[in-house]
Amino acid sequence: SACVVWETPPYPLPAREEECAVLDSHLNACLAGNGKGGGGLYVSGGPGTGKTCSIRMAAQAWRCRDPEIVIMEVNCMELPQRSVTGLLQHIARKALRQQGEDVAAHHEGVRGASTASPALRSCQGLAAQAVVRLAQLSSRVILIVDEVDQLFRHQGLRTAAGGSGSLDLLFSLHRLMGAPALAMIAIANAVDLLDRGTMPVTYGLCRTLLFKPYSVDQLRSIAKARLAAAGESGAAAEQSMGRVALELRVRQVAKRSGDCRPVVYMCEQALFQASLDREEAPTQAETAPTTPGPSTVQASEMTPEQRALKRRRSDPSTNDPLSAIEQLPLEQQVLLCALASAEGETVQFLDLCSRFKEMCKKLRQDTSLASKQAVNSALSALEQRGLLGLHGTGKRSAGRNRSAICPPNGSKTVVELAVSCAAVRQAVAKANAMLETCLIGGA
């Protein structure tokens, strides 16, 4: 294949060895021994700092050692009801799906119990049901709950930490009767979620782990590890990028956000181009004319290798930046919605921040994602994917054809889509049905 993908990064992840050691220690404390353990870990940090990837790989490493371990992952953004009650119902239903039992009958039973009981008893009852279902799957379970801060967006500060429908209950699941050895890992961007509200999470109930933004040295080590993993293609990619360009990009990303995704994407693009060049070299040698004649080769005269290369060159999934929208983080998809709902392909930076904030409110997202620094980071990642360009309109501009770094106040920066608004709207709606309502309302 011409497209080289870092399908299996090494574990521990490059530049996250210390954090992975903490994850291993937590899983060992919860799952090793007589199977009566359990505990909670709250993992926080900004987007692109390796939280979810590290946790998934740590869990997979443990399952390789012990195939009896069951891993269940839930993203709270996908819950129909974003609350602790909704999460517990989802865990019970997902466990039933894995067992192949009748989910609908269970759902009716849970709904009936919820309406017939007070809120406190209902929440505790659902928690008891959830741990029993997990125990039926295995005696050792790793439960990963991503975007856990979404459960407390609109419940008020009083229940944001302590209380019946709170993180206290989630981190206490392993203590309930009939619970398996349960390693609970909750993930969120907010560092202070455990301390919010009038009743913070009970001290000692869970451990915490912070993934700080990547430094220059860490981003450099990630790029080198990615290129080294590709062998000869990696060496060719590094040569084509140039060490100076790579170093400048690493320093730029470290200064802006510490998000590793723009650096990894830059390496992926260089690897893809390097592998295409390697495939193209022998075909170019074969088609070099030895006698006078037409300089172009007709499709009927092409070898199978030449036709395959031509298909790779013309494949929309490899050349069209819109094909990557489905894999983008949610906040970047929402940002594209804000851009696509504008009247034209260009939007002032400050206007975009306002549009993005309104869409975050509409989707019940954290409005801190619309801060200038967070928007800068997201725009940088989208620019690397070829979806947009950043242009300065003042003295700080480096020219229209060169990417401009947003100034601190963003007032001199214009964001320009590289493709039409209609095409972006169509691609975003196809990638995430939840965003279609925003596009309809904003178009």
pTM exceeds 0.75 for this model: no
Which parts of the chain sit beneath pLDDT 50? 1-5, 102-105, 108, 110-121, 155-164, 293-297, 309, 312-314, 316-318, 394-410, 442-443
Could you read off the pLDDT of 148-177 as tens digits, one per residue? 988 876 544 444 444 445 788 899 999 999
pLDDT for 413? 80
> Which among 148, 147, 84, 144 has a CA at the least distance from the CA of 120?
84
Under 8 Å CB-to-CB from 384, ≥6 apart: which residues?
262, 265, 266, 269
Residues 56 and 144 sit within 8 Å (Cβ to Cβ): yes
> Is the torsion defined by CA of 230, 232, 235, 236 positive or negative?
negative
Strands (E), 283-358: 346-348
pLDDT for 420? 81
Q: What are phi and psi of 58, to 5 degrees?
A: -65, -45
Could you read off the pLDDT of 67-107 as tens digits, one per residue? 999 999 999 988 888 888 999 999 999 998 887 754 444 55
